[in-house]
């Protein structure tokens, strides 16, 4: 399809005062032979929009709106049938730089606008119209792993919406932990009273729902394929079957006996040996069941203290020292008694922190353990009119309206709370003596107790087992969740429920410790996400975070060298590879971040509207003034900008009229992970004096929308430094800077300091060649 | 650490405090807002935060022997500012009430005075006593004559009879106080020394009394009340009632001396200077002014309590009983006088009889009721002054 261009240069919002828009069109567009150029003092007005609409109706399919940021008025400048590019003359040019002086030799604003307009022109030439990827057969069924309150709620919500759901539960009956408690925390306002377990009612609803299939005593052996067409093999726990998921080779097996890295063939042999008896991930189970999306609600288990752990609290020393999980079972069976002699346990001390001089809580403890202690204290009072329950905590966490429950429990005259550091639990006669320091009641106190309960935390089951057993080349579980104590990562700042695996949505206590109330709410969220996934996959668009993006990576396999970088670096495990190492794309697993595009040394991975060539051409279109043009030519600095964090920060800087060097040129990228080093090389080879990558925080507290993008970029930039040295260019000319979305105020400093640094280095020696 | 303190919560204590206006004490979550707003809270001791958790843990020992509890004048700033509505002011008030009852002997009477159900019996007792004693002694005349042409209450209820009852009553109150105070001071001193919050660690009774002039001046001037934010206006009513009582006490003392002095002088009961005294008599002026102060003060107190926001302060039975007593004394006292002056003989005798019953209640039930704060608080303030509470705090800071 041939392209028909339309350029629309706005002069509103101060653009017309600072720039000569007519001259801009003449110098850049008419020079290139473009004739369809229109001007208006407010293209966002109905009149302005009508102008563009009329052109689109007349066949214009490549629209360039040179006005405000691409992040604003997206609904206004939306013209179905045409690809739209926005040139940010307002926030990035006129709002963030002073108007040029009359009669000066150089007009920096005009030059900047020229560059941005040229970039847009080039981009519109280079990009193609994306076509959605559609699966041949799409399964709309949802698999729920875990039959506790979370899983059942997710199943009910999804099924009520009309989707077929299968619940897989490892145990022989539904209910999970919720089925074993005596009472549960309040579920409705005013959140003051415990309630009888609601799990039986849930089980009844699930059992009678025509769209829900329940498989108890069943677990997932493997999930192969991709969202919309997962092939799932189920099995009985303990069984060994051909379709058990294979594991990737551990690093020590990837080398030969001399420590040399194995080649692809060698690796394939080792992999076969390592996964003896298990089919490769690319072999689909012919008997497997098809699912479209997965909800992971496998829950938690109580923290299991190691042998001798918490000995100072009498654990393992006295049968009357128990964990909160054990206490719950005792309480569910009847009035609480002392395990040692069966006498009533009328004085119960709930210890919330291991103490002994340490302020921290028990491992995996949380607000839930605080609330459970309050709930269990009530049991003591329910069982015995003269019962006394003591809670000694370092941290009492009752967030939100659970504060009401805390207040209600506190009212009980027989429940006593204090912050304190438990020093020891000792035996005294047939009962126990709890010693505590630094309490609210004094420095050194002791309390007589019949029973001591320790507040063990909730460990996600993903601590022990991948659970989802994904037949993915990167491995069966979720990568790097150790960062989150093995809770299933969901880059929770922005995207709750989402895991690092598209189409798999986590809910409930596997995600973080939660009460049943929270888990049920969480389940609804995950169910909606699973539905969103199905309803995006069926249209061939990305689910998140680039919701609705129709593009997907296109591989030019003839030139692939099987280096496996794309497979290994994809943050979402979207790529599998065959025995030779050739990547096998799974487009519906993809989140369109372009990390593979940035990783590929052969530059054979591209998107229809975002390619190595399109961005490279934009970079190369930047005008680099030389001594032929001016006596003192200004520098040119390329800034590759993450469009999720840094780009909005730049807009906000403009909105706040913050000023920074006019020598920089911004080129937005989907993620710093998509930055291919060739762009930097291109920039330096045309005489651009320095290049900066501006993106989000990486590291343990990363903010990357694509988890690993900015981290990978930093690794690649270190490598490019070495390459620059070999070209006799200072490695300082290339840098990566972090800027969070709310740190717009930092922008001028970050930019100006780099520009000054490059100025000090002097101009790029390749300039003018 | 061999000397760990064993914590043994007393649930009964918590419930008792609850019945005395501190039903909210368990709401405290130890934020210490009370300590920040409290005008008497030292910089380095979170008062009354510590007292609040001791109360919610039912640690009665820690509270009833605590001198600081008595230094609080219930200004209500803490209760008004408490984010949880725990009303620390009322909690301290209930602790004081509990302490009064704890130190009073006999205990059965202390319990009765603090039990609203026993109120009719307590009130009926003097009535029966008066009538029985009057009939036995013949000092009560149901058809009294006029004295020198005027109605005289003494003709109905002889001064002999009055004093026969009230002199032992006062003695009883003094003995009960003396017994209670000895234990109170000893306990308070022990606790204060143990907590290291006083400068003096010995207990010298003489030095204790030497602190009196300064403390009494502070009390009379109502200095502590003026430090309050919330209940500032209380200073005036309290002052009216306190000075009313003092005035009436002086009047009673003067007339007691006049009656028995003149009797001794003349050697005859009949010739002695009997009441009623002339309205031109300056002592009578004092009596009237004091009576009116008592009445007005008590009425304003009643009004304040009736219209007080329950979230800031809740009145207990002990509070109402005291206001009732003061009001009863004032109304019957002035009522008896006015009805006498207008010549309503029957009315004035009846009102006078009721008035005497109130006076009996005032004396005999004093060491067990809220009014005992008059003595306990004064003593606690004395002790704080004597033992150098302020100095110790400054030193610790």
Query: B86 with B117, same domain?
Result: no
- In sequence order, the β-bridge partners of residue A585 are A575
- In sequence order, the β-bridge partners of residue A176 are none
Most confident of A259-263, A730-734, B269-273: A730-734
Q: Cα torsion for B331, B332, B333, B337, to the nearest 10°?
A: 100
ipTM of the complex, rounded to two decimals? 0.84
Q: Among B169, B133, B136, B117, which residue's Cα sits nearest to residue B317? A: B117
- In sequence order, the β-bridge partners of residue A143 are A166, A294
Give B-chain residues touching A437 at CB under 8 angstroms: 1
Tell me the pLDDT of chain A averaged across its residues.
93
Question: Is B61 among the domain residues?
Answer: yes
What's the confidence (pLDDT) of residue B375? 92
Q: Among A113, A123, A126, which residue's Cα sits nearest to residue A9? A: A113
Q: A441 in contact with B at a CB cutoff of 8 Å?
A: yes
Q: In the 8-state DSSP scheme, what is residue B27?
A: G
Pick the CATH number of A311-456 from 1.10.10.10, 3.40.50.300, 3.50.50.60, 3.40.50.720: 3.50.50.60
Q: B61 in contact with A at a CB cutoff of 8 Å?
A: no
Query: B212 with B81, same domain?
Result: no
pLDDT range class, residue A336, cuts 50, 70, 90: very high
Pick among A348, A356, A392, A416 to test the B interface (most B CBs inside 10 A): A416
Q: B29 in contact with A at a CB cutoff of 8 Å?
A: yes
- Contact predicate B23/B62, CB 8 Å: no
Pick among A384, A407, A435, A442 to test the B interface (most B CBs inside 10 A): A442
- Other CB atoms within a 10 A radius of the CB of residue A587 amount to 21
pLDDT range class, residue B119, cuts 50, 70, 90: very high
How far apart CA B40 and CA B35 sit, in angstroms, is 9
> Please, which residues 244-263 of chain B have a Cβ atom closer than 8 Å to chain A?
none
Question: Is B67 among the domain residues?
Answer: yes
Please, how many CA atoms are within 13 Å of residue A594, restricted to the half-sphere of its CB? 26
Beta strand A451-454 pairing with A347-351:
parallel
Q: B5 in contact with A at a CB cutoff of 8 Å?
A: yes
- Per-residue model confidence as pLDDT tens digits over B224-250: 887 777 777 788 899 999 999 999 999
Q: B269 in contact with A at a CB cutoff of 8 Å?
A: no
Report domain extents, chain A. 1-128, 142-245+281-301+461-537, 311-456, 554-606, 610-769
pLDDT range class, residue A262, cuts 50, 70, 90: confident
- Check CB contact under 8 Å for B7 and A441: yes
Query: B256 with B313, same domain?
Result: yes
Q: A36 in contact with B at a CB cutoff of 8 Å?
A: no
Query: B72 with B207, same domain?
Result: no
State the pTM of this model: 0.86
Q: In sequence order, what DSSP letters do the residues of A592-628 get, joined into one string?
A: ---HHHHH-TT--EEBTTB-HHHHHHHHHTS----TT
Query: B27 with B124, same domain?
Result: no
Q: In sequence order, what DSSP letters do the residues of A268-328 get, joined into one string?
A: HHHHHHHTTTS--TTS--TTPEEESEEEE---EEE--PPTTTTGGGTTTT-TTEEEHHHHH
Phi and psi at A424, nearest 5°, equal -165, 155
Beta strand A300-302 pairing with A458-460:
antiparallel
Q: A493 in contact with B at a CB cutoff of 8 Å?
A: no
Query: B158 with B212, same domain?
Result: yes
Query: Which of A253-257, A650-654, A672-676, B331-335 is least confident?
Result: A253-257
Question: Is B4 among the domain residues?
Answer: no
Phi and psi at A418, nearest 5°, equal -155, 145
What's the confidence (pLDDT) of residue A388? 95
What's the confidence (pLDDT) of residue B141? 82
How far apart CA B384 and CA B192 sit, in angstroms, is 10
Query: B179 with B275, same domain?
Result: yes
Angle, CA B387 vertex, CA B386 and CA B393 arms, to 5°: 125
Q: A426 in contact with B at a CB cutoff of 8 Å?
A: no
The structural domain count of chain B equals 2
Min Cα separation B370/chain A (Å): 25
Q: B1 in contact with A at a CB cutoff of 8 Å?
A: yes
With a CB cutoff of 8 Å and minimum separation 6, the contacts of A249 are: A267, A270, A271, A274
Q: In sequence order, what DSSP letters do the residues of B224-240 get, joined into one string?
A: HHHT-STTTTHHHHHHH
> How far from chain centre, in Å, is Cα A22?
45
Q: B4 in contact with A at a CB cutoff of 8 Å?
A: yes
How far apart CA A685 and CA B275 sit, in angstroms, is 121
Give B-chain residues touching A388 at CB under 8 angstroms: 9, 11
pLDDT range class, residue A769, cuts 50, 70, 90: low
Query: Which of A332-341, A429-438, A617-626, B132-141 is least confident?
Result: B132-141
Would you say the CATH fold of A311-456 matches that of A142-245+281-301+461-537? yes
With a CB cutoff of 8 Å and minimum separation 6, the contacts of B238 are: B222, B225, B297
Residue among B1, B27, B59 whose CB faces A407 most closely? B27
Question: Is B142 among the domain residues?
Answer: yes
- Per-residue model confidence as pLDDT tens digits over B149-174: 788 888 888 888 888 899 999 999 99
Q: Which chain A residue lies closest to B54 (C-alpha atoms)?
A: A441
Give A-chain residues touching B50 at CB under 8 angstroms: 440-441
Query: Which of B277-281, B333-337, B356-360 is least confident?
Result: B277-281
Q: Which chain B residue lies closest to A442 (C-alpha atoms)?
A: B5
> Please, which residues 35-54 of chain B have a Cβ atom closer than 8 Å to chain A?
50, 53-54
Q: Is B5 helix (H, G, I), strand (E, B) or coil?
A: strand
Query: B232 with B313, same domain?
Result: yes
> How far from chain centre, in Å, is Cα A329?
37
Q: Among A737, A743, A750, which residue's Cα sits nearest to residue A656? A: A743
Domain boundary among B84, B103, B122: B103
Give A-chain residues touching B1 at CB under 8 angstroms: 423, 435, 437, 444
Pick the CATH number of A142-245+281-301+461-537 from 3.40.630.30, 1.20.59.10, 3.50.50.60, 3.30.390.50: 3.50.50.60
Residue among B1, B27, B57 whose CB faces A441 most closely? B57
Q: Where are the alpha helices (DSSP H) in chain B?
A: 11-17, 33-37, 49-56, 60-64, 67-71, 77-81, 88-103, 107-113, 119-137, 153-156, 159-194, 205-210, 212-221, 223-226, 234-266, 282-307, 317-342, 345-364, 373-387, 389-396
How far apart CA A310 and CA A490 sit, in angstroms, is 32
- Check CB contact under 8 Å for B9 and A448: no
- In sequence order, the β-bridge partners of residue B370 are none
For the segment A154-182, the average pLDDT, to the nearest whole number, is: 96
Q: B2 in contact with A at a CB cutoff of 8 Å?
A: no
Q: Is 80 exceeded by the pLDDT of residue A491?
A: no
Task: Give me the domain span that covers residue B36.
Answer: 11-103
Q: A435 in contact with B at a CB cutoff of 8 Å?
A: yes
Q: B57 in contact with A at a CB cutoff of 8 Å?
A: yes
Give B-chain residues touching A447 at CB under 8 angstroms: 6-7
- Check CB contact under 8 Å for A410 and B27: yes
Q: Which chain B residue lies closest to A412 (C-alpha atoms)?
A: B26
- Check CB contact under 8 Å for A407 and B57: no
How far apart CA B105 and CA B116 sit, in angstroms, is 19
What's the confidence (pLDDT) of residue A630? 85
Per-residue H/E/C for A553-588: CEECHHHCCCCCHHHHHCCCCCEEECCCCCEEECHH
Q: B202 in contact with A at a CB cutoff of 8 Å?
A: no
- Check CB contact under 8 Å for B6 and A446: yes
Question: Is B3 among the domain residues?
Answer: no
Run of H or E including B72: none
Residue among B18, B27, B57 whose CB faces A416 most closely? B57
What's the confidence (pLDDT) of residue B235? 86
Q: Which fold has domain A554-606?
A: Alpha-Beta Plaits (3.30.70)
Q: Which chain A residue lies closest to B53 (C-alpha atoms)?
A: A441
Q: Is 70 exceeded by the pLDDT of residue B372?
A: yes
Give A-chain residues touching B9 at CB under 8 angstroms: 388, 414, 416
- Per-residue model confidence as pLDDT tens digits over B295-321: 999 999 999 889 887 777 888 999 999
- Other CB atoms within a 10 A radius of the CB of residue B198 amount to 22
Measured CA to CA in angstroms, residue B236 lies from B135, B146, B221, B319, B371 at distances of 44, 40, 11, 18, 17
- Contact predicate A220/A168, CB 8 Å: yes
Q: In the 8-state DSSP scheme, what is residue B17?
A: H
CATH number of this structure's domain A610-769: 3.40.50
pLDDT range class, residue B1, cuts 50, 70, 90: very low
CATH 3.30.70.120 is right for the domain spanning A1-128? no
- Check CB contact under 8 Å for B9 and A416: yes
Query: B330 with B358, same domain?
Result: yes
Residue among B7, B30, B58 whose CB faces A445 most closely? B7
Q: B84 in contact with A at a CB cutoff of 8 Å?
A: yes
- Contact predicate A734/A724, CB 8 Å: yes
- Contact predicate B22/B93, CB 8 Å: yes
Q: Is 80 exceeded by the pLDDT of residue A513?
A: yes
Query: B257 with B318, same domain?
Result: yes
Question: Is B287 among the domain residues?
Answer: yes
> Please, which residues 370-389 of chain A have a Cβ atom closer than 8 Å to chain B?
386, 388
For the segment A86-110, the average pLDDT, to the nearest whole number, is: 91
Q: A397 in contact with B at a CB cutoff of 8 Å?
A: no
> How far from chain centre, in Å, is Cα A576?
21
Looking at chain A, the number of H-run helices and the number of E-run strands are 18, 30
Query: First and final CA of chain A: distance in angstroms?
Result: 37
Residue among A416, A418, A442 whose CB faces B5 most closely? A442
Min Cα separation B15/chain A (Å): 7
Q: B89 in contact with A at a CB cutoff of 8 Å?
A: no
Q: Which chain A residue lies closest to B49 (C-alpha atoms)?
A: A440
Tell me the pLDDT of chain B averaged across its residues.
88
Q: A357 in contact with B at a CB cutoff of 8 Å?
A: no
pLDDT range class, residue A402, cuts 50, 70, 90: very high
Q: Is 80 exceeded by the pLDDT of residue B104?
A: yes
Instruction: Work out whether the CA dihedral B72, B78, B79, B80 comes out positive or negative.
Output: positive
Query: Which of B73-82, B97-106, B368-377 is least confident?
Result: B73-82
Query: Which of A346-360, A515-529, B27-41 is least confident?
Result: B27-41
- Check CB contact under 8 Å for B11 and A388: yes
- Check CB contact under 8 Å for A435 and B15: no
Angle, CA B31 vertex, CA A458 and CA B380 arms, to 5°: 135
- Check CB contact under 8 Å for A446 and B27: no
How far apart CA A458 and CA A446 sit, in angstroms, is 29
Q: A356 in contact with B at a CB cutoff of 8 Å?
A: no
- Check CB contact under 8 Å for B15 and A413: yes
- Check CB contact under 8 Å for B26 and A411: yes
- Check CB contact under 8 Å for B5 and A386: no
Q: Is 60 exceeded by the pLDDT of residue A592?
A: yes
Q: Is 80 exceeded by the pLDDT of residue A500?
A: yes
- Contact predicate A506/A497, CB 8 Å: yes
Domain boundary among B73, B103, B133: B103
- Check CB contact under 8 Å for B6 and A435: no
Q: Among A224, A236, A239, A250, which residue's Cα sits nearest to residue A143? A: A224
Question: Is B6 among the domain residues?
Answer: no
Beta strand A5-10 pairing with A37-40:
parallel
Domain boundary among B72, B103, B134: B103
Question: Is B1 among the domain residues?
Answer: no
How far apart CA A758 and CA A764 sit, in angstroms, is 9
Query: B170 with B218, same domain?
Result: yes
- Per-residue model confidence as pLDDT tens digits over A542-563: 998 899 999 999 999 999 999 9
For the segment A454-470, the average pLDDT, to the nearest whole number, is: 94
Query: B53 with B131, same domain?
Result: no
Q: Is 60 exceeded by the pLDDT of residue B2?
A: no
- Other CB atoms within a 10 A radius of the CB of residue A507 amount to 34
Min Cα separation B39/chain A (Å): 22
């Amino acid at each position: 399809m041939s392209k028909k261009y339309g350029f629309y240069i706005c002069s509103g919002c101060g653009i017309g005062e600072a720039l000569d828009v007519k001259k801009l069109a003449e110098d850049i567009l008419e020079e290139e032979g473009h004739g369809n150029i229109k001007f208006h003092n407010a293209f966002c007005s109905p009149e302005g929009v009508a102008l563009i609409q009329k052109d689109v109706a007349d066949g214009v399919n490549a629209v360039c709106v040179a006005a405000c940021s691409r992040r604003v008025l997206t609904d206004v400048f939306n013209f179905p049938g045409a690809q739209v590019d926005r040139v940010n003359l307002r926030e990035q040019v006129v709002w963030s730089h002073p108007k040029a002086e009359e009669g000066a030799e150089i007009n920096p604003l005009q030059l900047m606008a020229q560059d941005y307009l040229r970039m847009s022109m080039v981009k519109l030439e280079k990009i193609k119209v994306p076509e959605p990827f559609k699966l041949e057969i799409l399964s709309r069924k949802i698999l729920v792993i875990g039959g506790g309150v979370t899983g059942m709620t997710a199943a009910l919500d999804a099924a009520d919406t009309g989707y077929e759901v299968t619940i897989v539960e490892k145990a022989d009956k539904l209910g999970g932990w919720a089925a074993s408690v005596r009472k549960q925390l309040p579920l409705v306002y005013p959140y003051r009273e415990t309630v009888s377990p609601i799990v039986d009612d849930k089980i009844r609803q699930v059992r009678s729902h025509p769209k829900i299939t329940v498989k108890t005593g069943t677990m997932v052996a493997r999930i192969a394929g991709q969202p919309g067409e997962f092939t799932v093999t189920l099995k009985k726990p303990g069984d060994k079957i051909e379709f058990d998921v294979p594991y990737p080779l551990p690093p020590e097996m990837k080398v030969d006996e001399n420590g040399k890295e194995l080649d692809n063939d060698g690796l394939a042999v080792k992999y076969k040996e390592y996964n003896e008896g298990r089919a490769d991930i690319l072999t689909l189970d012919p008997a497997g069941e098809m699912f479209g999306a997965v909800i992971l609600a496998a829950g938690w288990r109580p923290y299991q203290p190691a042998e001798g752990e918490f000995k100072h609290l009498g654990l393992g020393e006295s049968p009357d020292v128990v964990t909160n999980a054990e206490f719950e079972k005792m309480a569910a069976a009847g009035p609480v008694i002392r395990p040692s002699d069966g006498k009533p346990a009328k004085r119960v001390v709930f210890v919330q922190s291991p103490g002994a001089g340490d302020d921290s809580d028990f491992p995996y403890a949380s607000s839930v353990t605080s609330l459970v202690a309050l709930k269990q204290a009530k049991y003591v009072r329910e069982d015995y009119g003269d019962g006394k329950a003591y809670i000694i905590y370092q941290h009492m966490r009752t967030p939100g309206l659970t504060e009401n429950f805390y207040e209600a429990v506190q009212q009980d005259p027989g429940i006593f709370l204090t912050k304190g550091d438990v020093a020891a639990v000792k035996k005294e006669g047939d009962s126990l003596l709890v010693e505590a320091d630094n309490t609210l009641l004094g420095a050194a106190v002791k309390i007589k107790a019949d029973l001591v309960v320790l507040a063990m935390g909730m460990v996600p089951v993903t601590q022990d087992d991948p659970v989802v057993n994904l037949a993915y080349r990167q491995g069966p579980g979720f990568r790097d969740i150790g960062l989150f104590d093995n809770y299933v990562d969901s880059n929770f700042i922005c995207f709750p429920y989402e895991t690092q695996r598209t189409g798999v949505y986590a809910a409930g206590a596997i995600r973080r410790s939660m009460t049943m109330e929270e888990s049920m709410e969480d389940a609804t969220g995950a169910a909606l996400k699973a539905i969103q996934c199905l309803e995006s996959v069926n249209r061939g668009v990305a689910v998140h975070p680039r919701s609705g993006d129709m593009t997907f990576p296109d591989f030019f396999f003839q030139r692939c060298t099987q280096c496996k970088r794309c497979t290994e670096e994809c943050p979402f495990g979207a790529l599998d590879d065959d025995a030779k190492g050739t990547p096998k794309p799974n487009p519906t697993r993809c989140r369109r971040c372009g990390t593979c595009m940035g990783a590929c040394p052969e530059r054979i991975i591209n998107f229809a509207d975002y390619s190595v060539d399109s961005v490279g051409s934009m970079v190369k279109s930047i005008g680099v003034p030389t001594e032929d043009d001016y006596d003192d030519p200004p520098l040119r600095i390329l800034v590759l900008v993450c469009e999720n964090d840094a780009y909005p920060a730049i807009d906000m800087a403009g909105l706040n009229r913050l000023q920074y060097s006019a020598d920089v040129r911004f080129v937005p990228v989907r993620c710093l992970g998509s930055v291919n080093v060739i762009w930097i090389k291109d920039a330096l080879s045309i005489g651009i004096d320095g290049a900066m990558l501006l993106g989000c925080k990486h590291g343990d507290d990363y903010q990357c929308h694509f988890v690993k993008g900015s981290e990978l970029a930093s690794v690649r930039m270190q490598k490019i430094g070495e390459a620059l040295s070999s070209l006799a260019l200072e490695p300082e000319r290339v840098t990566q800077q972090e800027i969070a979305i709310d740190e717009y105020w930092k922008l001028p400093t970050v930019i100006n300091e780099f520009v000054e640094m490059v100025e000090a280095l002097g101009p790029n020696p390749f300039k003018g060649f | 650490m061999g000397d760990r303190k064993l914590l043994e919560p007393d649930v009964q204590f918590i419930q008792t405090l609850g019945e005395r206006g501190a039903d909210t004490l368990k709401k405290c979550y130890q934020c210490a807002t009370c300590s920040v707003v409290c005008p008497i809270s030292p910089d380095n001791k979170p008062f009354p935060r510590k007292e609040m958790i001791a109360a919610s843990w039912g640690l009665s020992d820690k509270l009833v022997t605590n001198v600081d509890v008595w230094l609080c004048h219930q200004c209500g700033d803490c209760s008004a500012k408490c984010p949880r509505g725990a009303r620390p002011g009322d909690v301290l008030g209930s602790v004081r009430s509990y302490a009064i009852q704890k130190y009073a002997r006999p205990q059965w009477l202390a319990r009765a005075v603090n039990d609203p159900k026993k109120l009719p019996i307590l009130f009926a007792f003097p009535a029966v006593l008066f009538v029985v004693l009057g009939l036995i002694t013949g000092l009560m005349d149901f058809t009294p004559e006029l004295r020198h042409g005027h109605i005289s209450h003494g003709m109905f209820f002889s001064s002999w009879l009055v004093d026969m009852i009230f002199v032992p009553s006062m003695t009883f109150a003094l003995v009960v106080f003396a017994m209670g105070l000895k234990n109170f001071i000893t306990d308070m001193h022990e606790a204060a020394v143990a907590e290291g919050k006083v400068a003096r660690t010995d207990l010298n009774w003489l030095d204790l009394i030497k602190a009196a002039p300064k403390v009494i001046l502070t009390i009379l001037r109502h200095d502590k009340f003026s430090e309050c934010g919330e209940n500032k206006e209380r200073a005036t009513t309290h002052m009216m009632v306190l000075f009313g009582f003092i005035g009436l006490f002086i009047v009673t003392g003067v007339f007691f001396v006049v009656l028995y002095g003149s009797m001794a002088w003349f050697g005859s009961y009949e010739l002695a200077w009997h009441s009623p005294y002339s309205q031109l008599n300056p002592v009578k002026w004092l009596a009237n002014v004091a009576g009116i102060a008592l009445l007005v003060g008590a009425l304003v107190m009643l009004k304040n309590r009736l219209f007080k926001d329950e979230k800031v302060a809740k009145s207990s039975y002990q509070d109402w009983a005291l206001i009732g007593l003061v009001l009863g004394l004032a109304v019957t006292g002035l009522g008896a006088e006015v009805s006498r002056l207008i010549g309503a003989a029957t009315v004035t005798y009846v009102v006078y009889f009721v008035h005497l019953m109130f006076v009996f209640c005032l004396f005999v039930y004093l060491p067990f009721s809220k009014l005992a704060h008059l003595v306990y608080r004064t003593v606690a303030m004395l002790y704080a002054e004597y033992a150098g509470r302020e100095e110790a705090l400054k030193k610790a800071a």
